[in-house]
Structure 1
Amino acid sequence: MKAAFIGTGSMGSVLIEAFIQSGALGPEQIVASNRTAAKAKRLAERYPGLLVAAGNAEAAQGCDLVFLCVKPSDYKRVVDEIKAVAQPQQIVVSITSPVMIRHLEAQLPCKVMKMIPSITNYVLGGATLMIFGGRMEPEDKELIENMLSHISTPICVTEEHTRICSDLSSVGPAFLSYFIQRFVEAAVDRTGIPYETAVQLASEMVLGTGKLLTTGGFNPVSLQKRVTVPGGITEAGLELMSKEMDGMFDLLIRATHAKYDEDVEKFEAQFVAAKE
């Protein structure tokens, strides 16, 4: 199997390295292209056998899987470039959530799906979201799920719920790390605890909590109940957060959805303009 990665920026390079480190793909199975060729060449130097293509069409030609890992503003141009070499048996995997599957199926003759990765895939953890197009056969879905299981827990979702699922799995690490950052900063400012110690304690706490919520048999509510002693310190802290953070998460989801809707409109305009 051969896989092309068009775009080797932040997430494209994360996926390439995660697939190689996990054994899902060998370097010799990967062809990469990037607008700035030096970035792709650095990956080839790090992983001998990985091929760097001169252009996007050259990268996509003849590959079984084609991962589109480019900036939203470059998307239509890249689709136009690979259209001439795309074949019905190929699977194009978009990691750009605002681009609808119908857009890609209208432009390309091949099988299409969306995959929303996460920075957690870099350490072979977290989830990847899978949204399959109508041309994907059962064996195609099995191939993708098996491949993604090397670097994550693959979860199939509907395109309707792409944004909220991405908030929880892909954007979530940034939100959670911001909470940890503010928690640590307050601890340091209030008590004088060394910053490095506070970060280590908080990071280990997050790791352990994740295990409790996945393999430990807890859910968020039952975990809070298990830790909380009536009239104790945990209860006082939870009561404060419940009061001060009331409505914040609803506003957070409103903000991410508003930006998503704006991006979807921009892509709609790109693809509609292409038809005219």
Structure 2
Amino acid sequence: MKWGVIGIGNMGEMLVQAWLESRMVEPQNVVLHNRSIYKAEQIQQIYPSVTVVSDPISAAKQVDILFVCVKPLSIHPLLGDIREHLTEEQCLVSITSPYSVKELEQLVPCQVARIIPSITNRAVTGASLVTFGERIKPIMKSYLEQSIKHYSKPIEIKEDITRVSSDIVSCGPAFFSYIMQRFIEATCEETNITKKEATMMMSEMMIGLGKLIEDGHYSLETLQQKVCVKGGVTGEGIKVLEEEIGNMFHRLLQKTHEKYAEDKREIAEQLEV
């Protein structure tokens, strides 16, 4: 099968790199289009067999599976341009949360899926959030699931938990990267440790933490229990976290859901036109 990507932004580029490095698909079976053609050509410089096309219609005509990796409000006009060039045998895949698969199915004649990636997929790990449309054929569904397993763990989700799932899987790396950076800044302000030293220690700690969970040595809860000895230093730190975090994550989720609702309203306005 041939795989295509329209939109080589951060996530589009990351997906192509994950596909090729995991050997999920061979370079000669990848077709790329981006409004700024040089971004697609940068990938082609590394993988010369990748095909780069100058317009989205050419991409739509050449592939079996087409990933749309553009901003939510750019999806409707894009699908208007390529709709008549899509067939029932093809599969259109969106990576953005505000568009439901049901809404996408109303805009195109082909099979539809939504696969929300995570930046962790760049390391051929982490999760991908998957929702299939009603027209998806069993053979295509199975093929997509098995393909995704080359670079991530597919987790099928229902529409009503799309936003919160994306907050964890897709936004989570940025959220926790920010928290770790703030932790590093505090260590430098409160002690004589250098930023370089603290960053190295933090990075190695996070790598080790992920490995402990991946290998099944501990769950998040049991890991905390193992480290947090009663009456010890870690316990004093946990007390501060309990006092200071409060409703922070509740407010975070409220904000992301507000933005999600705004995007959904703007999409609905487009669809009504």
Contact kept in structure 1, 2:19 and 2:151, CA below 8 Å: yes
How many Å apart are 1:216 and its aligned residue?
A: 2.3
* Partners of 2:221 and 2:37 in 1: CA distance: 49
**Cα distance in 2 for residues equivalent to 1:142 and 1:200:** 41
SS in 1 for 2:85: coil
Deviations 1:174-207 (A, max 9, x none): 0110111000111111112121111111111111
Matched, 1:198 2:198: yes
Q: Which residue of 2 aligns with 1:21?
A: 21
Number of the residue aligned with 2:248 = 248
Measure the CA separation in 2 of the matches of 1:212 and 1:164.
25
Q: Distance in 1 between matches of 2:254 and 2:125?
A: 27
> Displacement, 1:140?
1.5
Q: Summarize the alignment of residues 97-176 of structure 1 with structure 2, pairs less than 5 Å apart.
A: 97-176=97-176
Q: TM-score normalized by structure 1?
A: 0.96
User: What secondary structure is seen at the aligned counterpart in 1 of 2:251?
Assistant: helix
User: What SS does structure 2 have at the residue aligned with 1:147?
Assistant: helix
Pair 1:89 & 2:89 matched: yes
- 2:68 is aligned with 1:38: no
1 CA distance for matches of 2:58 and 2:5?
Answer: 11
Identity %: 39
Give yes or no for the alignment of 1:271 onto 2:271: yes
Counterpart-to-counterpart distance in 1, 2:40 and 2:50: 9
What's 1:178 paired with? 178
**Secondary structure of the corresponding residue to residue 49 of structure 2:** coil
List 4+ stretches of structure 1 deviating above 6 A.
none
CA contact (8 A) 2:31 2:62 kept: no
Shift of 1:63: 1.2
Q: Does 1:216 align with 2:232?
A: no
- Note the alpha carbon deviations across 1:198-248, whole angstroms, 9 max, x for none: 111111111111222232242222111111111101110001100111111
**Whole-Å separation in 2 of the counterparts to 1:86 and 1:252:** 39
Aligned to 1:64: 64
**How big is the shift at 1:36?**
1.0
Structure 2 gaps of 5+ residues are: none
